[in-house]
Amino acid sequence: MIFKVYFQESNKQVPVREKTQTIYVKGDSERDVRTKIADRQYNIEYVEAVDGNYFEYEKQKEDFEVLEIE
């Protein structure tokens, strides 16, 4: 399953909507995705599953790239 992760660059940074970035990560669950990116020191705001029509919409974006982290 593909998850969209909303985050700030640093876990020391206070979440500010205008500075929020996103990445797409392949994983089995939200917990799995959080574990996979834990070493990146991101301040994760939200993780959501991307499927169905929402997935089709996201795939059309120019910067759509799914990270497959082991």
Residue 15 CB coordination number (10 Å): 13
pLDDT of residue 69: 86
pLDDT of residue 47: 96
pLDDT of residue 63: 84
Extents of the domains making up the chain? 2-67
Taking domain 2-67, whether its CATH number is 3.10.20.730 is answered by: yes
pLDDT digits (tens, 9 = 90+) for 12-23: 877 888 889 999
Q: Dihedral sign, CA of 59, 61, 62, 67?
A: negative
Distance (Å) of CA 54 to CA 13, 15, 17: 29, 24, 21
pTM comes to 0.86
CB-based contact 5:33 (threshold 8 Å):
yes
pLDDT digits (tens, 9 = 90+) for 22-65: 999 999 999 999 999 999 989 999 999 999 999 999 999 888 99
CA pair distance 9, 11, nearest whole angstrom: 7
pLDDT of residue 60: 92
